[in-house]
Amino acid sequence: MSAYDVQSGDKVHKGDPVIVERYTAPARANHWVTAICLVLLALSGLSLFHPSLFFLTGLFGGGQLTRTIHPWIGIVLFFSFSGLFVRFWKANLWRSVDSVWLSRVREVMLGHDENLPDVGKYNAGQKLMFWFMSALIVLLIITGLIIWDQYFYAYTTIPTKRLAVLLHALGAIGIICVWIAHVYAAIWVRGTMGAMTSGKVTGGWAWRHHRKWLRELVGRPQ
């Protein structure tokens, strides 16, 4: 297995039970800043998307203030997610075992983990979410800048802005769907939420869900 599945902060602590450090404190903080930005952007964006959702602007101090802070939260999201991308892109590179895992997704849904191939730090589903999220955030930041008239009105044409508005809306819907799937998976797989709050998982959890990652981690000089 390639070494990029194990990162510098990953460690195994012997004991009963065995504890595995999966995420460092900076990585967890980076993740939660990104998550909070996504929630705020979803709420503020939806409030401006349709009149029936305009009441959501009350969460941000009204319509005018919502329009002002929405793009700035987007800028924070972009830089925050860029930090996550730099941290995790190597561990999310697609490998042949991921195609096998994906072909057995029915076994995943049925909870038959014994029929799945051993995977590294992330399985195929997690990797797909990572790359979809990456692509959608790039799309949203580009289209968002195009339609940010306060600063970029003079640099684009009306037809370009219209196309950007459409793509921005579609990208927003897409990223909300990916976010919902991400949260559902984190709740569905017991121990996942704890990994991103405490940074640690049990050895049993790591063995069941990310066996190749654990094997390499144990075999690495401590």
Residue 1 is encoded by which pair of tokens? 């297995």
* Greatest distance between any 2 Cα atoms in the chain: 64
Whether omega before 17 lies within 30 degrees of 0, making that bond cis, reads yes
Name the active-site residue from 31, 168, 182, 209.
182
Residue 204 is encoded by which pair of tokens? 């049993």
Residues in the chain: 222
Question: Closest by alpha carbon to 128, among 178, 173, 180?
Answer: 178
**Backbone CA torsion sign across 9, 12, 13, 19:** positive
Whether 182 is catalytic: yes
> What is the distance between the terminal CA atoms of the chain, rounded to a whole angstrom?
18
Give the number of other CB atoms < 10 A from CB of residue 171: 20
> Which residues does the annotation mark as catalytic?
182
